[in-house]
Amino acid sequence: MKTENLRVEKIGGTSMTRFSEVVDNIILGDPTDVYHRVYVVSAYGGVTNELLEHKKSGKPGVYRRFKDQSDYQSALKELGQKLCVMNQDFRDIGLDLEVANRFLSDRFDTAVRILDSMYSVLASGYLNRKEVLLAARELLASLGEIHSAFNSTNILTNRGYGATFVDLSGWEDGRELSIDERILDVFRTIDTSRSICFVTGYAKGTEGIMRQFDRGYSEVTFSKVAVLLEAKEAVIHKEFHLSSGDPNIVGIDHVRTVCNTNFDVADQLADIGMEAIHPKASKPLEVAGIPIRVKNAFDPRHPGTLITNDYICPETRTEIIAGSDRVTYIDVHDTRMVGEVGFDIKIMQILANHSVSYVAKATNANTIGITIYDKDCRAELISDLKQHFESVSSEQLAIVCAIGSNIAKPGVLAQAARALANAGINILAVSQTARQTNMQFLVSRDQFKNAQIALHRALCE
């Protein structure tokens, strides 16, 4: 299966919406060798939000209507019509509008029929509701990537290049294949030296890709394809460079592009929601020894950020200042805690029961502070904790982190704390392990931006 010099590349939804630039910058960027490339594509920007729900606001999409047993048929039909209008934007760069719209309409009509059957099954009450809803969610999610991958293939074919639509959605394929088996089965007959491959970011498998990864599924597909095809490099195209700070906060003239880093740093970023790549997608690549390159899709001449196993910054410095202002700090105070072995296991078990993972944890003799995302801080979780411990309180805060592959030198923590103090920012909690790749500071939410600016100026500039 291995092909020399094969690169597997992931193109995100916002970039796909600007596909004319993607063609010029990425796909045909090196006209001497347009092949040996496999592109795993997301749905066009905003489409998956309308199929499922808005990723950030939670605004319901077609899936929520199906789940709530409201008029999902009309919602899906309206979205299909909207996507046919979207197709007109790509006619000038080679899309056969009639073929693309007919393909899309056929898939959406079939999806409605399948959902109608699922709806009847739900109404009967004979099958597990959760499993049926998950199947409906996977079906709907697949439509976005089917649309963008088909269009991409059609455009490149009409421009005279060999191109293959690689449909991993398992559309009307009843075989019980795992995701890995489906990928290997589909690529078994494809010659990547003669054809540019456009792969659906959604992949159907017996394990259910959304059961484990939900909205992170396209990066997991990308990772699996790269590992199974033994790619030389895995490339992720985003709308920005991986920089030392957020240019919108720190200032475009103050940040620098991070040219090299390692998988540990990538994991630290993912843990606070600043994903270079989904952590469960990066791990197989890390184990396989396949480097990841994060590139700005609209700055093609820049080599981007190379993420490898063994990179350590040759000089001691903080590489990235990042954070989130969507976290809640839960303070668990209990006088019975001191000296009791395994007391925190009780807290961890309650978090696990509510499917909550924490971002940071700090402890002393009788207090354990847990930082979680706002979206996970539900009333029932706090109520459950209050039933088991003497005092439980919660507060919405912000977390700001100084991250790097080589920041372990005397005085760095003091330097960071002094920078925050000089900016008039009170550190509410701090966390750092002996590995010293990530210094985490909890601050009030209204100081989130100022804290990033202060740390960046002190540690990165």
For 213-230, what is the HEC assignment? Answer: HHHHHHHHHHHHHHHHCC
Over residues 429-447, mean pLDDT? 94
d(CA 5, CA 36): 7
Maximum Cα interatomic distance, the chain, rounded to a whole number of Å: 74
Model confidence band, residue 315 (pLDDT cutoffs 50, 70, 90): confident
User: Could you tell me which residue, 234 or 212, shows the higher pLDDT?
Assistant: 234
Q: What average pLDDT does range 371-380 have in this prediction?
A: 95
Radius of gyration of the chain (CA): 24
- Compute the average pLDDT of residues 147-166: 98
Domains and CATH numbers, the chain: 7-239 (3.40.1160.10), 320-459 (3.30.2130.10)
Confidence (pLDDT) at 193: 93
Helix (H) or strand (E) holding 439: strand 438-443
Name the most confidently modeled range: 202-211, 334-343, 395-404: 395-404
**pLDDT(441) > 60:** yes
pLDDT in tens, 225-278: 999 999 999 999 998 899 999 999 999 999 999 999 999 999 999 888 776 777
pLDDT value of position 173 = 87
CA 303 to the chain's CA centroid: 22
Token representation of residue 184: 């290997």
**Is there a contact between 202 and 142 (Cβ–Cβ < 8 Å)?**
yes
Q: What is the pLDDT of residue 3?
A: 63
Residue 301 has pLDDT above 70, yes or no: yes
More confident residue, 123 or 16: 16
Determine the pLDDT at residue 127.
72
Q: What is the pLDDT of residue 172?
A: 80
Q: Please state, for a pLDDT cut of 70, what percent of the chain lies above it.
A: 99
Residue 2 pLDDT class (50, 70, 90 cuts) = low
Task: Using pLDDT thresholds of 50, 70 and 90, give the confidence band for residue 125.
Answer: confident
Strand bridging mode 360-363 / 163-166: unpaired
Q: What is the pLDDT of residue 211?
A: 83
Q: 146, 153, 135: which is closest to 63 by C-alpha?
A: 135
Question: Does the structure show a pLDDT above 90 at 124?
Answer: no
Helix/strand number for the chain, H first, E second: 17, 14
pLDDT surpassing 80 at residue 101: yes
Letter for the amino acid at 27?
I
**Contact indicator for 156, 103 with CB cutoff of 8 Å:** no
Whether the per-residue pLDDT at 1 is higher than 60: the answer is: no
Tokens 């009409």 — which residue? 158
* Mean pLDDT, the chain, integer: 93
Tell me which of 3-12, 399-408, 412-421 is least confident: 3-12
Cα gap 382→377, rounded to integer Å: 7
Q: Closest Cα to residue 83, out of 39, 24, 17?
A: 17
Handedness of CA 310, 316, 321, 323 (dihedral sign): positive
Beta strands in 201-350 (DSSP E): 233-238, 260-262, 292-296, 305-308, 320-333
pLDDT digits (tens, 9 = 90+) for 72-83: 999 999 999 999
